């Protein structure tokens, strides 16, 4: 499984080029692309989202939230902040979903690098 971050998903939809877009295309072709609940929320937050794209997004498998998720995410964010780094709440929640299921995150967002350093998040990065 590969968790597709909002940044790479949007790049894919817009026809951008990059390793991440190729990974997204392959993940969807191979039916191994998944989303975290937070990514679904981010994608559906676009007020101009078409009903077709909304339906397509809702058809992508979502990583379920497991028992203890919120506590683990809070502790992860505290750990990152304790080390003097910034940790956006949405990024922390996405990271925790990936860690819970031991899946790599496909992203263009460099903010996830701190989660790689501190928590061992596996990242497949694209071009920015």
Domains (ranges, CATH) in the chain? 2-125 (3.40.50.1010)
Contact 99, 123 (CB under 8 A): no
Q: What is the DSSP letter of 24?
A: H
Full DSSP string of 30-84: TT-EEB-HHHHHHHHT-TT--HHHHHHHHTS-BPPPPTTHHHHHHHHHHHHHHTT
For each of the chain's 128 residues, which pLDDT tens digit applies?
999 999 999 999 999 999 999 999 999 999 999 999 999 999 999 999 999 999 999 999 999 999 999 999 999 999 999 999 999 999 999 999 999 999 999 999 999 999 999 999 999 976 54
Structure tokens at 105: 């995150």
**pLDDT in the model for residue 126:** 66
> Would the pTM of this model clear 0.75, i.e. be above it?
yes
**pLDDT in the model for residue 125:** 79
Q: Which DSSP helix (H) or strand (E) runs through 98? A: helix 89-101
Rounded to an integer, what distance in angstroms lies between the CA atom of residue 82 and that of residue 68? 21
């Amino acid at each position: 499984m590969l968790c597709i971050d909002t940044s790479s998903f949007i790049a894919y939809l817009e026809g951008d080029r990059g390793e991440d877009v190729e990974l997204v295309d392959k993940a969807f072709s191979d039916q191994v692309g998944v989303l975290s609940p937070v990514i679904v929320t981010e994608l559906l937050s676009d007020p101009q989202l078409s009903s077709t794209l909304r339906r397509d997004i809702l058809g992508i498998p979502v990583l379920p939230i497991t028992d203890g998720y919120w506590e683990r995410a809070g502790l992860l964010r505290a750990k990152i902040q304790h080390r003097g780094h910034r940790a956006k709440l949405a990024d922390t929640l996405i990271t925790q979903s990936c860690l819970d299921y031991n899946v790599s995150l496909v992203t263009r967002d460099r903010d996830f690098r701190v989660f790689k350093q501190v928590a061992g998040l596996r990242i497949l990065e694209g071009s920015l």
